[in-house]
Amino acid sequence: MARSRDLPLDTDGSTRFLPWLVALMVYLAALTIAGGAALHDAVDSWNAGLAGTLTVELPRGATGAPVPQDRIDAVLAQLGQIPGIAAATRLDASVEKRLLAPWLGQDVDVSVLPLPVLIDVQTRPGVALDPDTLAQRLAIAAPGTRVESHGAWLSRLFRIAGLVQVGAAAIVGIIGFVAVLTVVFTTRTGLAIHAPVVQLVHLIGASDTYVARQFQWHAFRLGLGGGGIGLVMALVSYGALRWTAGQGLLPGEVGLLPSFHLPLLGWIAILALPLAMGLVGLVTARRTVLRTLGRMP
Amino acid sequence: MVRFENVGMRYGSGPEVLHDIELDLEPGGFFFLTGPSGAGKSTLLKLMYLAERPTRGRISLFDRDVAALTRAQLPALRRRVGVVFQEFRLIEHLSALDNVALPLRIAGQEEARVRDHVVDLLKWVGLADHVHALPRELSGGQQQRLAIARAVISQPSLLIADEPTGNVDDAIALRLLYLFEELNRRGTTVVIATHNQALIDRFGHPVLHIEGGRLERRPGRRAVI
């Protein structure tokens, strides 16, 4: 079994700052993953929240007069007769106030606003109602009634969220690429610095693999250690974000966005970053040493 | 054991430092290598311990054509060769024990056996009190004995020593030569480059004399003491 101390790699000036570079890379990667995962989770929750729902909108009259109650009752009665609908509930003023709060503030008086009447419709599981057909049917009782299935809005949201997540994945990929380049550079520098000892152990009978093992485990330790530091920094930042959100300083607290929540998969990805960085270091250092030594006569 | 056939050697585009070397060292032999400074002794030894490849000609080591060996095949062959370098080439951050243990560890020997083996040898070369000393804490003579211990620890088939007695007094030099003879009796082929004519005369082994890049083999002749 090869010992890993024949080469004094721990005293290298070239690797002194490597753990801190790795720490910063892991920190950035962790925050990027956290953002991407939180967004994914938010999109899922929006999707789940809006699945199986329709919104029926009864517009006010041309003069802005309120919608007559009998017209509202007729529409609710119509909805109650459709077999695929589980429930139909008119949104009351308190709900309207909460929905408008992100834009108009908590103290908005919805009674003075020319709002349409909104009816929240819950469909039965597995039932897909065509919004246009439903709108035509309801228009008999209340002309001008519109039905919104949220599909178009959701698909735009998914597209934007998908682009953001691709961007996050690209950033993590770039960080990994930079990590590889850094390890290649420091490993080559280490080989140059320790060339006399490397040549000596070769003459004593060491194989290229023996030399590579020393570099690879050194890089693994640096990657793991630096990654650990970066992880701690990221967790502190995440805690600070959560705390800030808890103080009501983030938009998630007023209903525009879901609260900043990291799903289990996100936690696993972030906690695995130091090990991943260690393994990147290990594999890169090994390949670099073997390729470099392999070119020697 | 070691065979050179029409070997020539030059460094880069410089002049040829070894010319048409013909050499056949039989297994179990003990040879002194002599010659003036700059004659090519160190280059000849480097070719023997596979630190250099010849510019021309053919070298066989342990009946293997060196030119035909792949890089992956070299380590196993090198482990059969012990080398005492002229400038010692000890690893500065390793203790005496770890320096001497290096060939055994590289060969993958069990750690439990390595320590006892190394400590015994360090006692034998007079470094029992310096097991944990770093090379810089040792005198020139002690470093040389350490380098010799590292070269012989794995009982190599071929031992090559470049001026191994250069930095030690006569008593230690004699003791080291007896150590080499003991290894030789156990089957190790020994090649020692030295300027010490008294030692050459005293031990009387065959001499490989190199001068102007050309090699001449002279029979051994033990002096009457």
CB contact under 8 A, A205 and B91: no
Residue A273 has pLDDT above 70, yes or no: yes
Residues of A in Cβ contact (< 8 Å) with B49? 203
Which of A8, A208, A210 has the CB atom closest to B106's CB atom?
A210
Query: Which structural domain range is residue A204 located in?
Result: 9-47+154-295
> What pLDDT is attached to residue B100?
96
CB contact under 8 A, A297 and B53: yes
CB burial of residue A80 (10 Å; 0-12, 13-18, 19+) = exposed
Cβ atoms of A8 and A200 within 8 Å: the answer is no
Mean pLDDT of the A69-77 span: 89
Q: Are residues A29 and A174 in the same domain?
A: yes
A286 and A183 inside one domain: yes
From A149, A172, A207, the end of a domain falls on A149
> Alpha carbon of B195 to those of A44, B95, B175: distances in Å?
84, 30, 17
Of A149, A168, A186, which residue sits at a domain end? A149
pLDDT band at A40, cuts 50/70/90? confident
| Percent of chain A surpassing pLDDT 70 | 92
In a domain, A132, yes or no: yes
**Same structural domain, A76 and A131:** yes
In a domain, A1, yes or no: no
Q: Does A40 fall in a domain?
A: yes
Pair (A205, A123) in one structural domain: no
| Res A257 pLDDT > 60 | no
pLDDT over 70 at B223, yes or no: no
- A205 → closest Cβ in B79, B93, B111: B79
Q: Give the separation between CA B37 and CA B20, rounded to whole angstroms.
A: 19
Rounded to a whole number of angstroms, the distance between the first and last alpha carbons of chain A is 26
Report whether pLDDT(B103) > 60: yes
Enumerate the residues of chain B whose CB falls inside 8 A of the CB of residue A5.
93-94, 98
Name the residue in chain A with its Cα closest to that of B72. A207
> What dihedral angle (degrees, nearest 10) is formed by the CA atoms of A220, A224, A225, A229?
150
The pair of three-digit structure tokens given for residue A114, joined into one six-digit string: 């020319």
* Domain boundary, last residue among A149, A177, A204: A149
Domain count for chain A:
2
CA-nearest of B52, B77, B75 to B62 is B77
Domain containing residue A125: CATH number: 3.30.70
Angle A151-193/A195-204 helices, nearest 10 degrees? 70
**Collapsing DSSP states into helix, strand and coil, what is residue A242?**
helix
Amino acid identity of residue A92, one-letter, is D
Distance from CA of B150 to the nearest CA of A (A): 9
C-alpha to C-alpha distance for A22 and A25, rounded to whole angstroms = 5
Q: Residue A60: pLDDT band by 50, 70, 90 thresholds? A: confident
Q: Based on the fold, state whether residues A288 and A202 are members of the same structural domain.
A: yes
- In this predicted model, what pLDDT tens digit does every residue of A7-16 receive, in sequence order? 888 877 777 8
Taking each helix axis as running N to C, give the angle between helix A208-246 and helix A264-271, from 0 to 180 degrees, rounded to the nearest 10: 140
**Residue A277 covered by a domain:** yes
Nearest residue of B to residue A210, measured between CA atoms: B106
Residue B67's contacts (CB-CB under 8 Å, 6 or more residues apart) are B53, B58, B59
Residues A177 and A43 in one domain: yes
- Measured between alpha carbons, how far is A214 from A146 in angstroms, rounded to an integer? 71
Quote the ipTM score: 0.89
Which residues, in sequence order, are CB contacts of A32 under 8 Å at separation 6+? A168, A171, A172, A175
Place of tokens 């650990």: A228
Within-domain flag for A2: no
Q: Which residue has the higher pLDDT, A284 or B182?
A: A284
Q: Which two tokens stand for residue A261?
A: 């929540």
Q: Which position has the token pair 């997540």?
A: A165
User: Residue B214 forms beta bridges with which residues?
Assistant: B211
Specify whether A179 is located in the same domain as A283.
yes
CA nearest to B157, candidates B80, B64, B104: B80
Residue that is written with structure tokens 């959100």 in the block: A245
CB contact under 8 A, A200 and B75: no
Residue with tokens 């020539």: B8
Q: In what side-by-side order are the strands of the sheet with B2-10?
A: B16-25, B2-10, B56-61, B64-65
Residues A88 and A136 in one domain: yes
B67 at A interface, C-beta within 8 A: no
Cβ-Cβ contacts under 8 Å between A and B: the total is: 57
| Pairwise CA distance, residues B217 & A129, whole Å | 104
Picking from B9, B88, B105 by the largest number of A CB atoms within 10 A of its own CB, the best residue to mutate is B105
In sequence order, what are the residues at sequence separation of 6 or more whose Cβ sits closer than 8 angstroms to the Cβ of residue B143?
Answer: B88, B90, B135, B167
Q: Distance from CA of residue A202 to its chain's centroid?
A: 49
Can you tell me which residue has the tokens 């009998």? Answer: A70
3-state SS assignment for residue B223: coil
Q: Do the domain assignments include residue A245?
A: yes
pTM for the whole structure: 0.76
Average pLDDT over residues B148-165: 92
Do residue A270 and residue A182 come from a single domain? Answer: yes
Please check whether residues A271 and A172 belong to one and the same domain.
yes
Spatial distance between the Cα atoms of B143 and B175, rounded to a whole number of angstroms: 15
CA-based nearest distance A283→chain B, Å: 20
Q: Which residues of A touch B (CB under 8 A)?
A: 1-3, 5-6, 8, 11, 196-197, 199-208, 210, 294, 296-297
Whether the CB-CB separation of B167 and B155 falls below 8 Å is answered with no
The verdict on B35 touching A (C-beta cutoff 8 Å) is: no
Q: Is the domain of A159 the same as that of A278?
A: yes
Q: Do A207 and B105 touch (CB under 8 A)?
A: no
Q: Which residues contact A221 (CB under 8 A, 6 or more apart)?
A: A278
* Residue A194: HSE in the Cβ half-sphere, 13 Å Cα cutoff: 30
Do A211 and A95 lie in a common domain?
no
CB contact under 8 A, A204 and B93: no
Name the residue among A32, A78, A84, A31 with its Cα closest to residue A53.
Answer: A84
Say whether A8 and B93 touch across the interface (CB within 8 A): yes
**Is A257 part of any domain?**
yes
Residue A223 placed within a domain = yes
Best to test chain A binding among B48, B80, B91, B99 (most A CBs inside 10 Å): B91
- In the predicted model, is pLDDT for residue A172 greater than 50? yes
pLDDT in tens, B16-58: 999 999 999 999 999 999 999 888 899 999 999 999 999 999 9
